[in-house]
Amino acid sequence: MMAIWNRIKLIMEKADTKHIVILSMGVLGGQIVNILVQPIATRLYSPEAFGNLSLMISLGTMFAPIATLQYHIAIVHSKKEEEFALYKLNFLLVAITAFFFFFCLFGYLQFGTPKYDTVGSLIYISILWYIMNGLVSIVESYNNRHNEYQLMAKVTFNRAIVSNIVKVILGVFHFEVLGLVIAQTLGYIAGIKKQSKSIIQHWNDIWKTDGKQVLEVASRYRAQPLYALPGIFILQFSYSALAVVINTLFSTREGGFFSLSVTVLGIPLSLVSNNVSRVFFKNASEEYEKTGSFYSAFRNTSVMLISLSVVGFSLLWFIAEPAFSLVYGKEWVRSGVFVKRLIPMYAARFIVTGMMHGFVISNKQRLKTILQSLFIAAMALGYSLAASGRMEVEGFLSYINWTYFALYIVLFFVLWKQSKEEHG
């Protein structure tokens, strides 16, 4: 028994659980706040209000990966002399892409599409969310590069506090969707100045960086927009579009129930998997530089994630419906039904998301893009079937669950194979 415990302890140490725990504690604190406030919020806001919010968020998050063209990832493992040039490149890209996003959104809405009519002019706030997502990606890459994990954890917690306090206050005064939008916006903004404090100290040096050097790093890391971006964009789109499909093909009320279900299912990803991803990327990159492969980092991280996934999501499956009815109110039991239908897919996503940077390390972004394109193909087929009236919302979610689950299994085994190959 002691030998097994020592083996588990060794695996945890190699997976760098110290940094993972630091990051997770900040997210845990934020999630505790969310968990405590959400039962209040579901009694202050209608399912339709949450549905409209999810419709707006889906628009901003669909295109969020384009903000930096994924050049922010290069910040983590770039050479020291390239650092300032990469920051300047990323900041410029956020400004330029936000400009085009605004005009594309404006033009899209002029066609009179009914999809966002229930939200009205508030839809344009998604542009601000788009910009904030881009800036957060940059400063988090800086924090990750310089091991500022405690700062990242603190900011995550502060954002949750601000957002939830505002949500409750405005909910008491029956602000409905406007209250949720204001809370969401302040949640994005809160803490970013503190999080970017270190990078601001180099602000003048960043903007003094020669344009030629900026073009050089853009060329050197061109694999990011060419190969990493399409795959990430496709995967992000394939998830964000689900809210649009449910809100438009079924109802905004069903969209509200769906938004709560994915919020709960997303807690393990934000608490553990996304933080594991940051640390795995750093550890696997270092192992790759030394040995030409990253099998040790992959093995240790996957053992940890699989164990957590099996235990956690199995428990959630048994308690989903009664828990939602008890915690959020009887009308929200439908969200518990949605959760049970999506658990296999989210369990697989929890495992694979933590190690997706393996494609970047092994320089197999093109393969990653090809595999991830299957997600959007599956989503498009599901949309067609639902639009033709062949599926109710439960059938659509079951279809998405099992097709996405199968694709994640494929991704896992491809990553496993890539980790064992020597690429040096």
Per-residue model confidence as pLDDT tens digits over 13-55: 444 556 666 666 776 788 788 888 999 999 999 999 999 898 8
Quick one: CA dihedral 329, 182, 160, 59, positive or negative?
A: positive
What band does 4 get if pLDDT is binned at 50, 70 and 90?
Answer: very low
- pLDDT higher at 23 or 280: 280
pLDDT at 17: 56
Spatial distance between the Cα atoms of 300 and 280, rounded to a whole number of angstroms: 10
Q: Which residue has the higher pLDDT, 106 or 74?
A: 74
Query: pLDDT band for position 99 (50/70/90)?
Result: very high
CA max distance for the chain = 67
**What confidence score (pLDDT) does residue 381 get?**
93
- The fraction of the chain above a pLDDT of 90, given in percent, is 38
Q: What is the pLDDT of residues 227-236, one digit of tens each?
A: 778 877 887 8
Indicate the pLDDT class of residue 388, thresholds 50, 70 and 90. Answer: confident
Say whether 133 sits in a helix, a strand or coil. Answer: helix
- Nearest 5°: the CA angle 284, 15, 287 is 25
Query: Which one-letter DSSP state was computed for residue 251?
Result: -
Does position 424 have pLDDT exceeding 80, yes or no? no
**Each residue's pLDDT tens digit, 338-382:** 999 999 999 999 999 888 888 878 878 778 888 888 998 999 999
Q: What is the pLDDT of residue 12?
A: 44
Please compute the mean of the pLDDT values over residues 97-111 and round it to a whole number: 84
Q: Provide the pLDDT confidence category of residue 87 given band limits of 50, 70 and 90.
A: very high
For 126: left if phi > 0, alpha if psi spans -120 to 50, otherwise beta; the answer is alpha
Q: How far is residue 410's CA from residue 145's CA, in Å, rounded to a whole number? A: 30
**pLDDT band with cut points at 50, 70 and 90 for residue 9:** very low
DSSP 5-49: HHHHHHHHHHTTHHHHHHHHHHHHHHHHHHHHHHHHHHHHS-HHH
Exposed / middle / buried, residue 213 (Cβ in 10 Å: 0-12, 13-18, 19+): middle
Give 334-394 as a DSSP string: HHHHHHHHHHHHHHHHHHHHTTTTHHHHTT-HHHHHHHHHHHHHHHHHHHHHHHTTS--HH
Is the confidence at residue 6, as pLDDT, over 50? no
Structure confidence by residue, pLDDT tens digits, 153-172: 888 888 889 999 999 999 99
The alpha carbon dihedral of 164, 97, 369, 288 has a sign of negative
Residue 261 has pLDDT above 90, yes or no: yes
Q: What number of H helices and E strands is found in the chain?
A: 21, 0
Averaged pLDDT for residues 255-262: 93
Q: Which residue has the higher pLDDT, 147 or 8?
A: 147
Residues 179-237 have pLDDT tens digits of: 999 999 998 888 787 788 888 888 898 989 989 999 999 999 998 888 778 877 887 88
Average pLDDT in the chain: 85
